[in-house]
Amino acid sequence: MRKTPGAHETAATAAKGALAAIGNTPLVELTRLDTGCCQLFVKLENQNPTGSIKDRIGLSMIEGAEREGRIKPGDTLIEATAGNTGLGLALVAAQKGYKLILVIPDKMSQEKILHLRALGAQTHITRSDVGKGHPEYYQDIAERLSREIPGSFYVNQFANPANPLAHETTTGPEIWEQMQQRLDAVVVGVGSGGTLTGLSRYFARVAPELQMVLADPKGSILADIVQTGAPRKEAGSWLVEGIGEDFVPPNCDLARVKHAYEIDDAESFHTARELLSREGLLGGSSTGTLLAAALRYCREQTTPKRVVTFVCDSGNKYLTKMYNDFWMFEHGLLARPHEGNLLDLIV
| Residue span 238-277 as binding mask against ligand PMP, x where in contact by CB under 6 A, dash where not | ---xxx----------------------------------
Please identify, using beta-carbon distances, which residue of 184 and 245 lies nearer to ligand PMP: 245
Q: Does 315 bind ligand PMP (CB under 6 A)?
A: no
Interactions with ligand PMP, residue window 40-59 (CB under 6 A)? 52, 54
CA proximity to 313, closest of 322, 301, 305 = 322
Interactions with ligand PMP, residue window 71-110 (CB under 6 A)? 82, 84-85
- The helix (run of H) or strand (run of E) holding residue 211 is strand 211-217
Please identify, using beta-carbon distances, which residue of 39 and 46 lies nearer to ligand PMP: 46
Q: Does 219 bind ligand PMP (CB under 6 A)?
A: no
Q: Which of 105, 284, 288, 315 binds ligand PMP (CB under 6 A)?
A: 284
**CB hemisphere CA count around 153 (13 angstroms):** 24
Q: Which residues are catalytic?
A: 54
* Strands, sheet with 257-263, edge to edge from the N-terminal-most edge strand: 27-29, 39-44, 306-311, 185-188, 211-217, 257-263
Please identify, using beta-carbon distances, which residue of 98 and 318 lies nearer to ligand PMP: 318
Enter the DSSP assignment of 186. E
Q: Give the chain's end-to-end CA distance (angstroms, integer).
A: 52
Instruction: Kindly state the smallest distance separating residue 35's Cβ from ligand PMP, in Å.
Output: 21
Separation CA 116–CA 99 (nearest Å):
12
| Residue span 327-346 as binding mask against ligand PMP, x where in contact by CB under 6 A, dash where not | --------------------
Instruction: Kindly state the smallest distance separating residue 65's Cβ from ligand PMP, in Å.
Output: 18
Instruction: Give how many residues touch ligand PMP by CB under 6 A.
Output: 20
- The helix (run of H) or strand (run of E) holding residue 76 is strand 76-80
Please identify, using beta-carbon distances, which residue of 47 and 301 lies nearer to ligand PMP: 47
Q: Does 192 bind ligand PMP (CB under 6 A)?
A: yes
Instruction: Kindly state the smallest distance separating residue 190's Cβ from ligand PMP, in Å.
Output: 5
Phi/psi region, residue 143 (left: phi>0; alpha: psi -120 to 50; beta: rest), is alpha
Angle at 40 between CA 35 and CA 43, to 5 degrees: 145
Separation CA 9–CA 182 (nearest Å):
38
Separation CA 59–CA 72 (nearest Å):
14
Contacts with ligand PMP, residue ranges (CB under 6 A): 52, 54, 82, 84-85, 189-196, 241-243, 284, 286, 312-313
